[in-house]
Amino acid sequence: MTAETPRIAILGMGKMGREVDGLARERGIEVVARLDVAEIADRAGAIAALKRAQVAVDFTTPDSAVGNIDLCLDAGCPVVVGTTGWYGDLAQVCDRVEKGNGALLWAPNFSVGVAIVSALCARAGELLRGLEGYAVHLTETHHAQKKDAPSGTALLLRDALASSGREAEITSIRTGSVPGRHEVAIDGAYEQIVISHDVSNRRVFADGALRAALWLRGKKGVYTMDDVLGLDVRGLAES
């Protein structure tokens, strides 16, 4: 391996961790550590492994994500977190990262398409403000093994729509092996607007996570995919 070869660590070797691992190898990115439950439990060993990486990618579980972020912070390793379901602790985690001079990039979804849909929802919310007779509803469908509901992406889209002044209801469906589907329906008395996004292969998440990881190297602070992609969702809503 050359000195210029990116070096990453992967936390969580489930479906997404393995997807990131495979795609990283295809792209010539060196995976210096693969940390699953047992390896993460060995804190000293995990910190030593993380110190060899330029950035870590976390796809674990909602109840372990915060501890893993703290682990990376202690190791001085920037971390990209694709795990969802822990956002109740987001403000405190971001504060610790900022005060600890660390780097965190969190995203409920690493798909470029979802980032675009979020921007569209922000603009739609702005256009709906003050209009009577329209209701907003979100439906999200994921595989039966997904632990959190609503999905982090559904919450992201709900927040993007908040400028409409309406609280969008969310319906969550867990079935089969669906990688992810999100549909935003804006219903009027005589018409319906639908904005939808379907994932055909979870590799799209691995692609986005690696894009984010390479971008985060050498940075400090807290970021989202909007920063990686150069999107200003608030600016789009206010334009």
> Could you list the active site residues?
142, 146
CA distance 234 to 226: 10
Where are the alpha helices (H) located in the chain, listed in sequence order? 15-26, 37-41, 43-50, 65-75, 90-99, 112-128, 152-160, 203-216, 225-229, 233-238
Q: Among residues 227, 230, 229, 219, which one has the least CA distance to residue 79?
A: 219
Q: Label the pairing between strands 221-223 and 103-106.
A: parallel
Rounded to 5 degrees, what angle do the CA atoms 192, 194, 197 make?
170
Return the DSSP state at 148.
Answer: -
Q: Reading across the β-sheet that carries 169-174, which strands appear in turn?
A: 169-174, 135-142, 181-187, 192-198
- Which of 115, 109, 170, 181 has its CA nearest to residue 143? 181
